[in-house]
Amino acid sequence: MPELPEVEVSRMGISPHLIGQTIQSITFRTPKLRWEIPQELKQLEGEVIRTISRRAKYLIIETNIGSAIVHLGMSGSLRVLDADFEASKHDHVDLKLTNGKVLRYNDPRRFGCWLWMEKGDSHSVLENMGPEPLTDEFNAGYMFEKAKGKRITIKQFIMDNKNVVGVGNIYACESLFSAKIHPLRHAGQVSDKEWSYLVTVIKKVLEKAIAQGGTTLKDFSQVDGKPGYFSQELQVYGKSGSPCPVCRALIEEKKIGQRNSYLCNHCQD
């Protein structure tokens, strides 16, 4: 599943090709992805794309009258192609520009979405979210206060979008390993000093993943088709049974909150 770094890489990749361009037409080859595709998106035809922003794992393509909200789901990707490039089986949405290019959305599993948001309005999918992890609002003091008395595991706590957005499974595992915090510890048991280090680590892990183009495991590829290279930097994720890069004990795999988790019982406590 594309996580925050992959979505941010997609935003950076498509923005130079789309910002300032006029939308000539929008084509839907399926009426429904995760949800039905709203016909209000057709209002964007003839509008100029002013900016492309990101909130959590949602991309927001903004114009003067409203925005398209795009989520890549589990297997979605975006490419900027020549408009006459033939569509393939899982190409579900085309946003054609007057400059002869097309933003094409491909999604084999159809768990992503395209939604409409009127200018000046909000959308339910963007509400009740915590701060972005790469902003100053995400800090140790904030997380320490949010976690007070919480018995939920620290891994589930940092993956909850109500606390902080976009810390997905891969990056939660990697960050907790680097911070030497066991993923099964209760969030309320993490000290303010440990939060200070963990927040710093999360920021560094995400920044490094973005710089290296995301993590390609199965489905994600960059806008230009090149894979992300952060997978080469993974220390524990997906490495059950391999030696820990620090102590050489074997990496273990556990289910935490229905997600596969990877850890070193020797290094993390």
Catalytic residue positions? 2-3, 57, 259
Is 266 annotated to bind a ligand? Reply is no
How far does Cα 117 stand from its chain's mean position? 20
Is 150 annotated to bind a ligand? Reply is yes
DSSP H or E segment with residue 201: helix 192-211
- For residue 209, what are the contacts with CB-CB under 8 A and spacing of at least 6? 5, 171, 215, 228, 230, 233
- Please answer whether residues 103 and 94 qualify as being in contact, where contact means their C-beta atoms are separated by less than 8 angstroms: yes
- Please answer whether residues 13 and 223 qualify as being in contact, where contact means their C-beta atoms are separated by less than 8 angstroms: yes
C-alpha–C-alpha distance, residues 124 and 234, integer Å: 34
Is 17 annotated to bind a ligand? Reply is no
- Helix-strand-coil split of the chain, %, nearest 5: 30, 25, 45
- Please answer whether residues 2 and 214 qualify as being in contact, where contact means their C-beta atoms are separated by less than 8 angstroms: yes
Residue ranges at the known binding site:
90, 109, 150
Residue ranges at the known binding site for DNA:
90, 109, 150
